[in-house]
């Protein structure tokens, strides 16, 4: 290989990496029959817009390794970046290693990350929800884009996982309370290899939910991953909370380890979940 060829090769690689991280600068598209009712384009550098987002703080669920904190979420160059970092800090909630509560029997924090939520600020019943993002797939990483109903405790309030990834798998799920098993799941799982693109994880993808009173349809890049029949999630006509016929708020987070995320290593850090935009459309009235 000549030195000129080598320089051109390096230039091509640099350009490819640069242009793969250019945010979508076009105005949100107009969908026939829909209005754009809320969006965050993450256009201003610094902390995410406090008008849109609250944060979870601490150890939250699924025996995950990360301690959630605000500092791991920031906007830069038109993207929201949620960064999982290897850290070593004292767990302020530690009581003893024999305590039954897993959030209180860990004496230290080994990893940090962020979970942003619209709870208390924004919630929507039905619509088209979109996120353009590149997800991290390093060992132990567990990124997600999901919703929870505003009324009731989990799973009675209903959960929709528009995007969930762990251990080499993409999932599109819904969960709700059932009489038979307490928690019912409608889940579709795809291996990364199912997408027939060796560089799939290095690219941005469009995750979408179309939700109405009858169905929840979950997509990636216009490929239908799962369709949930809303009527089948209703136990009885007189139940107090209909999980998918009530407003839901959004969560976007990067978890580490836990019951599904799997083992991680030092090489897993830092990992970045890079979000270009999140948009919510609703049908015209």
The answer as to whether 13 is a domain residue is no
The answer as to whether 12 is a domain residue is no
pLDDT for residue 25: 64
The answer as to whether 75 is a domain residue is yes
Determine the average pLDDT of the residues in 240-257: 97
Determine the average pLDDT of the residues in 35-51: 97
Residue 90 belongs to domain with CATH number: 2.60.120.200
Determine the average pLDDT of the residues in 160-189: 95
pLDDT beyond 90 at 27: no
pLDDT beyond 80 at 231: yes
pLDDT beyond 70 at 9: no
pLDDT beyond 80 at 201: yes
Q: How many CA atoms lie within 13 A of 41 on its CB side?
A: 12
Query: In the structure, what pLDDT confidence band is assigned to residue 1 with cuts at 50, 70 and 90?
Result: low
pLDDT beyond 70 at 152: yes
- In SS3 terms, the chain reads as CCHHHHHHHHHHHHHHHHHCCCCCCCCCCCCCCEEEEEEECCCCCECCCCCCCEECCECCCCCCCEEECHHHEEEECCEEEEEEEEEEEECCCCCCCCCCCCCCCCCEEEEEECEEECCCCCCECCEEEEEEEECCCCCCEEEEEEEEECCCCCCCCCEEEEEEEECCEEEEEEEEEECCCEEEEEEEEEEHHHHCCCCHHHCCEEEEEEECCCEEEEEECCEEEEEEEHHHHCCCCCCCCCCCCCCEEEEEEEEECHHHHCCCCHHHCCEEEEEEEEEEEEECC
pLDDT beyond 60 at 3: no
The answer as to whether 17 is a domain residue is no
pLDDT beyond 50 at 123: yes
The answer as to whether 11 is a domain residue is no
pLDDT beyond 90 at 238: no
Number of domains into which the chain is organized: 1
The answer as to whether 138 is a domain residue is yes
Calculate what percentage of the chain has a pLDDT beyond 70.
91
Q: Are 198 and 192 in contact (CB under 8 A)?
A: no
pLDDT beyond 60 at 207: yes
pLDDT beyond 70 at 15: no
Residue-averaged pLDDT of the chain? 92
Query: In the structure, what pLDDT confidence band is assigned to residue 16 with cuts at 50, 70 and 90?
Result: very low
Residues in a beta bridge with 115: 253
The answer as to whether 44 is a domain residue is yes
pTM metric for this prediction: 0.90
Per-residue pLDDT tens over the stretch 73-109: 999 999 999 999 999 999 999 999 999 999 999 999 9
pLDDT for residue 181: 77
pLDDT for residue 271: 98
The answer as to whether 38 is a domain residue is yes
Range of the domain at 215: 27-283
Query: In the structure, what pLDDT confidence band is assigned to residue 22 with cuts at 50, 70 and 90?
Result: low
């Amino acid at each position: 290989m000549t030195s000129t060829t080598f320089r051109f090769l390096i230039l091509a690689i640099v350009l490819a990496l640069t242009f793969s991280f250019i945010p979508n600068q076009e105005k949100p598209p107009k969908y026939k029959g829909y209005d754009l009712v809320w969006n965050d384009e993450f256009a201003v550098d610094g902390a995410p817009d406090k008008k849109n987002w609250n944060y979870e703080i601490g150890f939250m669920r699924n025996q995950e390794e990360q301690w959630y904190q605000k500092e791991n979420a920031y906007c830069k160059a038109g993207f929201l970046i949620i960064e999982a970092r290897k850290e070593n800090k004292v767990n302020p909630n530690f009581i003893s290693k024999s305590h039954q509560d897993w959030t209180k029997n860990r004496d230290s924090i080994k990893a940090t990350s962020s979970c942003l939520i619209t709870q208390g600020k924004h919630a929507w019943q039905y619509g088209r929800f979109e996120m353009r993002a590149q997800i991290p797939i390093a060992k132990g990483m567990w990124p997600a884009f999901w919703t929870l109903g505003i009324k009731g405790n989990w799973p009675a309030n209903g959960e929709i996982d528009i995007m969930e990834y762990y251990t080499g798998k993409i999932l599109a799920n819904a969960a709700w309370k059932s009489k038979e098993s307490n928690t019912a799941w409608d889940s579709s799982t795809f291996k990364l290899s199912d997408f027939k693109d060796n560089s799939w994880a290095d690219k941005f993808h469009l995750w979408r939910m179309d939700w109405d009173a009858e169905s929840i349809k979950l997509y990636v890049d216009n490929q239908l991953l799962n369709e949930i029949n809303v009527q089948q999630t209703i136990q009885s006509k007189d139940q107090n909370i209909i999980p998918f016929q009530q407003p839901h708020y959004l969560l976007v987070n990067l978890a580490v380890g836990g019951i599904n995320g799997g083992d991680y290593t030092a090489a897993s850090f830092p990992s970045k979940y890079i979000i270009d935009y999140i948009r919510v459309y609703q049908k015209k009235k």
